[in-house]
A and B are shown apart, each in its own frame.
Chain A
Amino acid sequence: MYNRSIELMVGLFIAIGIAALAVLAFQVSGLSLKSGSDTYKVYAQFDDLGGLTARGKVSMAGVTIGKVSNIELDKESYTALVEMELYSSVDNLTTDSIAAIQTAGLLGEKYISINVGADEEYLAEGDTIFDTQSALNIEKLIGSFASGK
């Protein structure tokens, strides 16, 4: 009896530990079990990221449709090359879509917002979005107000 209840308690302890790990993984870090086959990669070039980081959201009309998977500098054009992973279910983004870096709230996180165009072809794995809008740079904005231009 004595041993049984100890075994039960230890079992519960381990189970609580695993449950807590699951909470941390899925609820806190937003880890998803979707593997690479469920997403496709799209690229975009921006003049100024303004604080966008890897793992940032990619959304359309406020709905998350993917995430920023990698950021690097394109040495030829001196612009930022952003790699995005979009959910495969969202497969009807037109090739002339516009990708814009926006801010959630005044000081919130940066994310990429995508608006579709009118083209008849859709973006596929490895394609690049050419029409981009860089982040709104508050300092530049204030600077332009101050100089009255």
Chain B
Amino acid sequence: MLGYFRKLGASTMHSLSVLGRSGLFLWNSLVGIPDLRNGMPLLIKQLYSVGVLSLVIIVVSGLFIGMVLGLQGYNILVDYGSEQAIGQMVALTLVRELGPVVTGLLFAGRAGSALTAEIGLMKATEQLSSMEMMGVDPLRRIIAPRLWAGFISMPILAIIFSAVGIWGGMLVGVDWLGVYEGSFWANMQSSVSFEKDILNGIIKSLVFGFVCTWIAVFQGYDSTPTSEGISIATTKTVVYSSLAVLGLDFVLTAVMFAAF
């Protein structure tokens, strides 16, 4: 019995120390004045590998999810004779929920795991240490641009996902199933609010981007510098990020939308 308590204590202490280290890590990477002249090219390079390279998967998934929503929504709504509400349904589902959440999950799988593996490999091949010995802080040079690139890319990707998804829903609803286009858009516009729905969706994606990038970069930096360690860290990144996205989504939804 005492053994269980001891184990509980030990694992709590361990979790707290990881949390503390990751917080300190984030603080040391981001605090201070960013060096724009030297930092900008680094940031652009990371925006390319984190954002641009994730674009294809985001656009394709967004299109398909939008089309599926259109089909499913039509099948349900047509029974009540209100299939013109399909635009409203697709838009609200995407902007409030699926846009940020699915983008977060895809982002963790595509960009997060790549970040973890890349940083873990740099650690295993002593590139981070050698940078430190050259008098260059790897937190500033390697970590900070990747964090910023993640924070910036994620909301952009989520917005693109929602927009493409709505277009996919329109393709199915209007062009294929023949819902009148005017009422498709009019219903959507009268029910989607920019401040309440779109801005809240963007806030969600900002939070997810922050958390996913933080987890990915920290797991890479904190990994055991062996090939096994890197593979464990990559798995952890995907699992932790996905759980964090889904858990935070509930909390944020409760705060944002519960009142109305």
Contact = CB atoms under 8 A, between A and B. Distances in A.
Contacts of B190: 30, 55-57, 109, 111
Interface stretch (B41-49, B206-214, B226-234): B41-49
A10 B47 contact: yes
Interface stretch (A19-27, A36-44, A80-88, A92-100): A19-27
Interface of chain A: mostly helix, strand, loop or mixed: helix
Nearest to B92: A28
B166 interface: yes
A12 B166 CA distance: 21
A25 B183 CA distance: 18
A25 B82 CA distance: 24
Nearest to B164: A20
B52 A23 contact: no
Contacts of B163: 20-21, 23-24, 28
Interface string B162-206: 111010000000000000000101111111111001100000000
A24 B191 CA distance: 13
B156 interface: yes
Interface residues of A, number: 30
B84 A108 contact: yes
Interface in B68-94: 80-82, 84-85, 91
A147 interface: no
B55 interface: yes
A46 B47 CA distance: 54
A29 B47 contact: no
Interface string A97-126: 000000011111101000000000000000
Contacts of B52: 9-10, 12-13
A6 B45 contact: yes
B159 A21 contact: yes
A16 interface: yes
A35 interface: no
Sorting the interface of chain B by its residue count into under 10, 10 to 19, 20 to 34 or 35 or more gives 35 or more
A109 B82 CA distance: 10
A34 to B, nearest CB: 13
A77 interface: no
A103 to B, nearest CB: 11
Interface of A: 3, 6-7, 9-10, 12-14, 16-17, 20-21, 23-25, 27-31, 55-57, 104-109, 111
27 contacts: A7-B44, A10-B52, A12-B52, A14-B47, A16-B55, A16-B156, A17-B159, A20-B163, A23-B166, A24-B95, A24-B163, A24-B166, A28-B95, A28-B163, A28-B188, A29-B198, A55-B191, A55-B193, A104-B183, A105-B82, A105-B84, A107-B80, A107-B81, A108-B84, A108-B85, A108-B183, A109-B191
Given A13-B55, A111-B190, 5 more contacts: A3-B41, A27-B189, A29-B189, A55-B193, A105-B84
